[in-house]
């Protein structure tokens, strides 16, 4: 017996996603909250006052990349969520300078919050966060985009760096 159109659609949708391990904001949020919890038990200041405020402000200001990236997705009429199919290759806005402006923005938000809390603990976990992002999100997204957009994606990768 043949599968229904809904089953075919579901199978196509399942194949038409990068299969990231978890939503990227959670990959940043969970370790950040854990580190801030550890900081409450054992404070480890990152910078002396007022420098942590200045550094935090700079990070949070630059994290506006996330908003710019979301607008670029909206202009391209595709979805930014990596667990949903993409319909367009986004190469304008902040994507002209970095292939991962949202993840760079999330990293800056993470660092900004850590600096607002004036805690080194989140920075201790940040390399692990970035490793998880690289292996279980970015690599999977890149394979997916190459499969979906082929030469156009390869050309984009040749001219735009992954981070900065």
Given this model, what pLDDT does residue 4 score?
Answer: 46
Report the predicted TM-score, pTM, of the whole model to 2 decimal places: 0.89
Place of tokens 């660092």: 111
Distance, in Å, from the CA atom of 146 to the CA atom of 140, rounded to the nearest integer, reads: 10
Given this model, what pLDDT does residue 7 score?
Answer: 43
DSSP-derived letter for residue 162 is S
pLDDT band at 49 (very low <50, low <70, confident <90, very high): confident
Q: Is the pLDDT of residue 105 over 80?
A: yes
**Where would I find the H helices in the chain?**
5-15, 24-41, 51-62, 65-76, 101-116, 121-133, 139-149, 151-159
Given this model, what pLDDT does residue 6 score?
Answer: 46
Looking at the chain, the whole-number percentage of residues with pLDDT higher than 70 is 91
Of the two residues 6 and 155, the one the predictor is more confident about is 155
What integer best gives the mean pLDDT of the chain? Answer: 92
């Amino acid at each position: 017996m043949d599968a229904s159109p809904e089953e075919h659609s579901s199978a196509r949708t399942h194949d038409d996603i990068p299969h990231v391990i978890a939503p990227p904001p959670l990959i940043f949020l969970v370790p950040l909250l854990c580190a801030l919890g550890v900081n409450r038990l054992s404070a480890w200041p990152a910078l002396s006052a007022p420098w942590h405020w200045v550094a935090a402000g700079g990070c949070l200001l630059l994290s506006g990349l996330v908003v710019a990236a979301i607008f670029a997705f909206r202009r391209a009429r595709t979805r930014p969520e990596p667990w949903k199919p993409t319909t367009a290759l986004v190469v304008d806005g902040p994507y002209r300078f970095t292939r991962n402006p949202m993840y760079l923005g999330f990293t800056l938000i993470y660092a900004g919050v850590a600096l607002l809390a004036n805690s080194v603990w989140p920075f201790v976990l940040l390399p692990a966060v970035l490793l998880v992002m690289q292996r279980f999100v970015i690599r999977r997204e890149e394979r997916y985009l190459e499969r979906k957009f082929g030469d156009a994606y390869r050309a984009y990768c040749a001219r735009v760096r992954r981070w900065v």
